[in-house]
Structure 1
């Protein structure tokens, strides 16, 4: 792995990676036991109490929509098409799919219901507009842990941040503001509890590390090699 790699990049056999996996397992058990409810519920009740400002509600809706699976999937396809970012785009695209499948089955296993507080924005929304749920499948739609939005946002910061860090360390760190903003909006629109966000962050990092190492994110994607070999065989 190149020395220019950011500090959040690690090997799958490293102590750091093992620590993240262990933390996710332990944290998930704690959340499933209900031990975090006393911390989570007051935060969501506070978020409910500050709703009602049209401008702020609109801003929260706009930001949280950027973290929707459709939006990030489209972004991943676009950067996969661009040659310079193709390798990173492929890794991010696969990461989105893996996270969606893992979280889809993990939610009913943990069985934590979504917050009971309804978000009623103080602004008139388009007729067909709706806040995207965290899961697109019926059997996991009513559960909130871990946060898929947070996991995807973390994966974006992790993978795209790697690309940016090699150009500018400031830009590499700045992209981590994205999952923070997505996390705040998901609590504000009552789709998640704070602890769901921590779980989403952990699984987002774990999957990002695993796939980045498996696909060797530090090696450029060189299609010309394969073309060259094909040409030699034909000759």
Structure 2
């Protein structure tokens, strides 16, 4: 009996290690969930944080996802051409690499280190980015219930968060703060008037090089 219990404990321990490894730092997109408000809403945490902490007001000039992607990537190409090309490709591939699941609860990746939240709201894990290990594995796991509550501006920003994060991981990102900062800036009204020098400064603050380097 004791051997049987020990075997079970070892299996459970291995499963916990496996889960921890699958959700190591560098794998999460968070949503601000406000179901208790008079008008319940879900918003990408990046955009809320950028607006509240840094006054990066979200631009709604291009509210349709396809139009927004085209406008933002066109501006990004002026500031960082190789990065714009790589981000366009990754953005276009997201839907093929994502597994949208209903009726699930994604474990908190604990990479956000959030400072502020709206009263009556919570942070929930909306996307987990993983490194596929086996044939048929997806790169992204998405909580479909939360995803369906996002408007198209937030959906674009949620995908861009994952795209930026993929680059940040190559430079040793320990949490998502720099990714959220850069994502909120790119989705803000200020972005369209940024100079190349100003954008380079923002990249450095986020832990990324001015000159984009393709993954080897």
Larger Rg: 1
Q: Taking structure 1 as the reference length, what is the TM-score of the superposition?
A: 0.28
Higher helix share: 1
Q: Taking structure 2 as the reference length, what is the TM-score of the superposition?
A: 0.29
Higher strand share: 2
